[in-house]
Structure 1
Amino acid sequence: MKNYKEVVGIDVSKKTIDAYCYHGQVHKEFVNDIVGYKSLIKWVFKVCKEDTVFYCFENTGYYSLKLALYLSSQNIVYVEESPLKIKRSSGIVKEKTDVLDACLIARYAWLYREELKPSTVKSTSHLELGRLLALRDQIVRNNAGLKGTLKEMKVLLSSPTTDAGCISLKRSIEYLTKQVTCIEKRIKEIMSEDTSMQKNYELLTSLKGFGLVVASQLIYHTGNFTRFDNWRAFSSYCGTAPFEHRSGTSIHRRKQCHYLGDRKMKSLLSMASVSAIQHDSELRLYYNKKLAEGKDKMLAVNNVRNKLIARAFAVVKRGTPYVVLQQHAA
């Protein structure tokens, strides 16, 4: 991005977007829709009078997705950055306004323009996969809450089978269960429609502990294994990679996982690790070996998590399913 002469920082909210030209030092508010995006482009061209302009905004989910789709359709260069990176690069900021946020985004993009890379919109199948996985998680959480309420009501009531509240809860639970099944069916259809995704899905499910949800989440978060160069980078993204913490001669702690990371992916890998320890003889021996060395249980589980991540990247890179070596040992 070093060849660009101007950057436009955009603060995206639900109904409006605030744009700020870094060198022009001008600000204007637009509506967060197609009409607003067209007005934004015309305004930037009028103010900057430069063709070498790129746009930068924070990744705010659905709100910023509409803007990204429009800029991509118009072949306009943009960078969709993590809000945390921009916040930590801004120093001490005591005020909070949309105009100031847009200004800070523009400042960040200009100062780090040599390190930034143009963003691209994910394919339609990847976007739908992400929406379905998020919806499934929400429905499963709601269903778990209803099951807990039903369990408590059954204990309090003498005849729960005839109670209207229990009957209503049972119907809701059955309906949500059917919805989860429908979503999972659609997820499988998305996988089957994309040859690369289907192949990677089959490779991942050859690993013990990897089912539909874990494999699908892994494919989505890695961009079908195109977003990260190696398994260590993805381990750092999930928050399972240990980092050093030392300074001089007085501070020297043991390596620990950083609190920043994808908590959902980390939780799924934890459940996959527990399942793999039970059903994979190699990982069970590895886990017991770590415990015998005096390591804490959660530390040993984290080692298994990294083993699973390494195996996932290995089978995808190799293009062949995982084979348990002990089955073929002499």
Structure 2
Amino acid sequence: MKNYEEVVGIDVSKKTIDAYCYQAQVHKEFVNDLIGYKRLLKWVLKQTKTSNFFYCFENTGYYSLKLALYLHSQDIVYVEESPLKIKRSSGVVKEKTDKLDAKLIARYVWLYREELQPSTVKSMSHLELGRLLALRNQLVRNNAGLKGTLKEMKVLLSSPTTDFGCISLKRSIDYLSKQVKGIEDRIKEIITADNSMNKNYELLSSLKGVGLVVACQLIYHTGNFTRFASWRAFSSYCGTAPFEHRSGTSIHRRKQCHYLGDRKMKSLLSMASVSAIQHDTELRLYYKRKLAEGKDKMLAINNVRNKLIARAFAVVKRGTPYVVLQQHAA
């Protein structure tokens, strides 16, 4: 994004947005709604001496999504950046205000304006898919907690079948299970309605260990396999890619995965890897070979995770389902 003469950093919160023009060095607060967005555009045009500018704000989930949708509808160039990148580029900051945050965002985007790429809003079906996957995950966790409570109560009580608390828990568990099933049905409808997502879903389903949830999460996090250039880039995003750690002649550690990454995606890939080891002959032999080489179990599972990611990207790139070519070797 070269040749821009001004940038506007925006700090987004639940009810307000704070805008800061970097070159003009002016700040103003607006309401985080449609009226506030319109006033923001008018104010920026008055403060800047050029029309060659763009906006930048942090990705804060639902709060920033409204602003992104509005700017996209007005064909306005904007960048939605990771909060961690902006925070780590700011140096040591002891004060914390919305105005200062907007200024730091503007400073970041001005310094890196030549490296940044304009952001785009995902399709409505893609956004709904992400919301449903997050909701399903929350309901599953809540249901697991209720099941644990019910199990403990059954141990303590002599007649759990007639206890009112146990009966209430069972009803809640059954209700949440039905809700999860309904969400999964809606997810399948969204996938089926989109030809591109449906094709990639069928390709991913040909991999052992990859079911509905893992396949849909892969489609969502990769932007239907358009967000990452290679499987290694996605592996780094998930936190499964090993990195070197050495300095001079005294520090030389073995490669390790960085703690930064999408923990939910990493956890799902771990469960998919365990399932693949049980049902996929190639990956089971590959896993055992890594153990025989002296690697611990978690490191061997991480190797399987990366194998699954590589296979997922390969089948989508080729456009053909995965086929086991050799039954006797990985």
Smaller-chain TM-score range? over 0.9
CA distance in 2, matches of 1:299, 1:172: 39
1:24 corresponds in structure 2 to 24
Q: What corresponds to 2:56 in structure 1?
A: 56
TM-score, normalisation: structure 2 = 0.99
Aligned AA (1:55): Y
Match of 2:296 in 1: 296
Per-residue CA deviation, residues 4-28 of structure 1 (Å, 9 max, x unaligned), is 1000000000000000000111100
Q: How far 1:207 moved relative to its partner?
A: 0.2
State the shift of 1:39 in Å.
0.2
State how 1:27-38 maps to structure 2 within 5 Å. 27-38=27-38
Q: 1:2 matched to which residue of 2?
A: 2
Give yes or no for contact 2:16–2:30 (8 Å, CA) kept in 1: yes
Cα contact 2:282–2:327 (8 A) shared by 1: no
CA distance in 2, matches of 1:325, 1:5: 56
User: In the aligned structure 2, how far is the partner of 1:13 from the partner of 1:97?
Assistant: 12
Matches within 5 A, 1:34-49: 34-49=34-49
**SS of aligned partner of 1:244:** strand
Cα distance in 1 between the residues matched to 2:324 and 2:188: 26
**Mapped partners of 1:254, 1:50: distance in 2:** 52
Aligned to 2:169: 169
2:127 is matched with which residue?
A: 127
Inter-partner Cα distance in structure 2 for 1:95 and 1:19: 18
| Aligned mates of 1:308, 1:114 — CA distance in 2 | 35
Name 1:279's counterpart in structure 2.
Answer: 279
> Paired residue for 1:139?
139
Partner of residue 94, structure 2: 94
Per-residue deviation, residues 124-149 of structure 1 (Å, max 9, x unmatched): 01000000000000000000000001
Cα deviation code 1:153-198 (max 9, x no counterpart): 1111111111111111100000000000000000000000000100
Shift of 1:324: 1.2
Partner of 2:225: 225
Cα distance in structure 2, aligned partners of 1:17 and 1:42: 15
For 1:217, what is the secondary structure of its paired residue? helix
Please state how far the C-alpha of 1:50 moved relative to its aligned partner: 1.6
C-alpha separation in 2, matches of 1:138 and 1:61: 16
> Retained in 1: the 8 A contact 2:239–2:259?
yes
Letter in 2 for 1:267: S
Report runs of 4+ in structure 1 exceeding 2 Å deviation: 326-329
Letter in 1 for 2:160: P
Aligned to 1:152: 152
Task: State the secondary structure of the residue aligned to 1:18.
Answer: strand
Offset at residue 47 of structure 1 (A): 0.7
1:173 and 1:296 map into 2 onto residues whose CA distance is 38
Q: How far 1:49 sits from its partner (Å)?
A: 3.3
Count of aligned pairs between the two proteins: 329
Runs of at least 5 residues in structure 2 that lack an aligned partner in the other structure: none
Deviates more, 1:318-327 or 1:185-194: 318-327
Q: 1:2 deviation in Å?
A: 1.6
| CA-CA distance at 1:38 after TM superposition | 0.1
Cα shift at 1:3: 1.3
1:75 is matched with: 75
Mapped partners of 2:328, 2:287: distance in 1: 21
Q: Secondary structure at the match of 1:199?
A: helix
Q: How far apart in 2 are the matches of 1:105 and 1:166?
A: 52
Instruction: Give, in whole Å, the separation in 2 of the partners of 1:326 and 1:105.
Output: 52
Query: How far off is 1:104 after superposition?
Result: 0.1
Structure 2 counterpart of 1:68, which letter? Answer: A
Secondary structure of the residue that 2:326 maps to in structure 1?
helix
Contact 2:57 2:79 in 1 (8 A): yes
Number of the residue aligned with 2:317: 317
Residue equivalent to 1:241: 241
Equivalent position amino acid for 1:71 in 2: L
Cα distance change, pair 248–328 in 1 and its aligned pair in 2 (3 A): closer
For residue 326 of structure 1, report the CA deviation from its aligned partner: 2.8
CA distance in 1, matches of 2:276, 2:326: 15
CA RMSD of aligned residues (A): 0.9
Give the whole-Å Cα distance in 1 for the aligned partners of 2:89 and 2:283: 41
How far has the Cα of 1:307 moved from its partner?
A: 0.3
Identity %: 87
3-state SS, counterpart of residue 55 of structure 1: strand
TM superposition shift of 1:328: 9.7
What amino acid is aligned across from residue 37 of structure 1 in structure 2?
A: Y
1:47-101 C-alpha deviation (Å, 9 max, x unpaired): 1132111000000000000000000000000000000000000000011100000
Query: Deviation per CA, 1:230-269, whole angstroms, max 9, x where unpaired?
Result: 1000000000000000011011000000000000000000
Q: Quote the Cα distance in structure 2 between the aligned partners of 1:320 and 1:327.
A: 19
Matches of 1:128 and 1:328 in 2, distance apart? 42
